[in-house]
Structure 1
């Protein structure tokens, strides 16, 4: 075994982290306890602030701000936020604020002026260029294998990450999408990324704000059971822009409406039926967001322990690759 300090990158140096691993700021499920645990484990924990609900933020921000004891950040869905949400977060002095899905330019200066690092997630080359022009401190290159929302016409992680690495240099890039174990972290580093941003793997941890039925589904799920679609957003009455689809595990409503999105959008009765089925307990409260690497997830550890285990596994994978 190499020492646990072996995986030093531009990303770990920027934030003073032990490991080149970041928690994807999954809206609602990456709460304060999960973000704090990832930071305690030596990664960068990021609170999933979503659209910036002030009640949720008021509850969850102190949990990470008071107990992380190490660098932590917050991530927003850029299309859904306003300046007030960003200001509320900045009052708690996060080390980083991440903007995903939408135009980051209205918020970039405000975040940097507050002394926080600006992390911008990108899903295509055009967005990557914009992130560089805006002076992003870190760029996350998200491939379509990722769970939850992403670009409908995005690129796969393996070919996309090195393109962004080359375009953004010397800005550190994190790889995201389909990374759920240390071998995936090692692969990200081999592609030139300075670390990995991981979502689905952290849904199945002791600290995640995830319904037990969703954790069970992730443990039992297979990559071939996941699919990208807008059906569940439309059924839920979600305001997600149409250019972003969500990768989820199978769902009865998906089977019912697959390929009939326009019809579903024009049918208020169908959306009412969905709400009533959720209220009766016939449907899960939320879709199960899961990436293509879900097969690799088969336990529910503490997130702090998981970060350390992922880093050790990545070191072993890189050492093994070097010996072959």
Structure 2
């Protein structure tokens, strides 16, 4: 079982511990985004020196998991997977299936990770948990979680909307010696430098990788992300209500604003009544998703959409983010005094 090395007489920083155990060269993880982070993206990120993550959605089949996990492992480099705790509460099969492919790291988030975390540990992999507030952070400090991922409300996709990345990261670093990964609003080498300089072990990047060439997202979705600004997102449950998806109510989603959110995000009660009365709205959203129509379908993206471009490969993105070293060096020189 991979274990974080014990402290010796010379203290080893948690960031170095995690790097030693998981074997990445660059402290860059692609977020485990269901629908975007497939095997090709995970493999490309790992091959480029980062740590590739596979996103396991709520309706994935055994065949899909087997196929995508095999691709994720094809780089020959360590890789990981992310799953939703509230889905695993009903059925642990998706987790058992992905564990058969030997991931080094598994992130169990959005709910109580208990039995799932125990299963990951039995497999020999490290267990991570995304946290979005102080209560979730306290849960992640228990012994069954090895790595804490602080996801601020700037991040895209589902999560909490309570605390931004830097305050949450600072709190986590005060509370634990476990490796802490920062997530939410990160898309450039300067952003990576900021969280690593603060003490994070790595940066968890979602939106920029969602627009990468290896992402499973449709070209229309990638182009919409590339065209968005930093103030073009909205946090809402409207898309889940319209699609009748049973995400726990505390986990809304940050997505690009579009015609649908403009019409419904401010009146969820009326939206719920409309969905209850007819299938028409749900059918229209599902059709828009099938056609990748960003005017109606959810395009889950964080505020860093305004810092992301479509058409870049995962390797190009990792190489660009890896320039964090020069950013940190320049910052250190800027504040040196004779």
Q: Is the structural similarity TM-score above 0.5?
A: yes
Q: 1:59: how far off?
A: 2.6
Could you say if the C-alpha distance between residues 52 and 174 of structure 1 is closer, same or farther in structure 2, counting changes exceeding 3 Å?
farther
- What secondary structure does 2:215 align onto? coil
Corresponding residue number in structure 2 for 1:59 = 67
Corresponding residue number in structure 2 for 1:309 = 320
Q: 1:135: how far off?
A: 3.1
Residue number among 68, 87, 90 corresponding to 1:80 in the alignment: 87
Counterpart Cα distance in 1 of 2:292 and 2:94: 34
Q: Is the 8 A contact 2:242 2:285 kept in 1?
A: no
- What secondary structure does 2:262 align onto? helix
> What is the CA RMSD across the aligned residues, in angstroms?
1.8
- What secondary structure does 1:267 align onto? helix
Pair 1:182 & 2:189 matched:
yes
Counterpart Cα distance in 2 of 1:33 and 1:286: 24
Corresponding residue number in structure 2 for 1:272 = 280
Corresponding residue number in structure 2 for 1:3 = none
Residue number among 296, 299, 310 corresponding to 1:288 in the alignment: 299
- What secondary structure does 2:77 align onto? coil
Corresponding residue number in structure 2 for 1:106 = 115
CA-to-partner distance for each residue in 1:184-203, whole Å, 9 max, x for gaps?
Answer: 11011122111100100101
- What secondary structure does 2:141 align onto? helix
- What secondary structure does 2:181 align onto? strand
Could you say if the C-alpha distance between residues 277 and 145 of structure 1 is closer, same or farther in structure 2, counting changes exceeding 3 Å?
closer
Could you say if the C-alpha distance between residues 52 and 106 of structure 1 is closer, same or farther in structure 2, counting changes exceeding 3 Å?
farther
Corresponding residue number in structure 1 for 2:3 = none
Q: Is the 8 A contact 1:52 1:76 kept in 2?
A: no
Pair 1:320 & 2:327 matched:
no
- What secondary structure does 1:11 align onto? helix
Alignment of 1:140-289 (within 5 A): 140-152=149-161, 154-169=162-177, 171-268=178-275, 269=277, 271-276=279-284, 278-279=286-287, 283-284=293-294, 286-289=297-300
Counterpart Cα distance in 2 of 1:51 and 1:249: 22
Counterpart Cα distance in 2 of 1:70 and 1:13: 13
**Aligned pair count?**
313
Counterpart Cα distance in 2 of 1:277 and 1:28: 16
- What secondary structure does 1:9 align onto? helix
Corresponding residue number in structure 1 for 2:10 = none
Counterpart Cα distance in 1 of 2:267 and 2:282: 15
Counterpart Cα distance in 2 of 1:118 and 1:94: 11
Q: 1:101: how far off?
A: 0.7
Structure 2: tracts of 5 or more residues without a match? 1-14
CA-to-partner distance for each residue in 1:172-226, whole Å, 9 max, x for gaps?
Answer: 0000000001111101112211110010010111100011111111111011111
TM-score of the pair, normalised by structure 2? 0.88
CA-to-partner distance for each residue in 1:127-150, whole Å, 9 max, x for gaps?
Answer: 112112133221100000001111
Counterpart Cα distance in 1 of 2:272 and 2:248: 13
